[in-house]
Amino acid sequence: MDTDTHTSADTHQAIPETHISLSEEETVDLGRSFASQLHRGDVVALIGDLGAGKTEFVRGVCSFFDVEEIVSSPTYTIINQYNGTFDNETIQIYHLDLYRVKSKAELANIGFDECTDAPDSIKLIEWAERANGSMPRSHYAITFTTDDTGNDDNKRIITIQKAS
């Protein structure tokens, strides 16, 4: 997995980190590595097409926090809740999938704002671009892009950026 890491001290927006993943295992490993910088209250937006690796990345994050439940995309349930461990204490991880959410009213019905505002949990949000402007101002944005050259179906370009 190739990595290009930069940060900017002059702005509130870090320069993006770009990673190349060549397999599901590398995407899981990147998620696990990324999770080491997460803290209670953090929100992570996961943006990318179907099959781009968002759920594999979430599996890696959950692995870092020793989640024992099976991690799967909550496409139909909208929200999955996992229990993990952080600093020898239990931490809740909310895994949301907004693929089927069509409006702010639907976001309100599922308790989106309450979930993203929860200070003691980590929130991982697939299809965050469908949050209709409701994402918290401060969050991580992770974009998954597949190889559009057609040369490698497993290649993913994963960009991580902190916005505040």
14: which DSSP letter? P
Kindly report, residue by residue over 114-156, the tens digit of the pLDDT. Answer: 999 999 999 999 999 988 788 888 899 999 998 777 677 789 9
Q: What pLDDT score does 159 carry?
A: 94
Nearest-10 crossing angle of helices 54-64, 24-35: 50
Residue 65 contacts residue 94 (beta carbons within 8 Å):
no
For the chain, which domains are there? 2-163 (3.40.50.300)
19-34 mean pLDDT: 95
Given the structure tokens 């599996």, which residue do they identify? Answer: 59
CA distance 62 to 45: 15
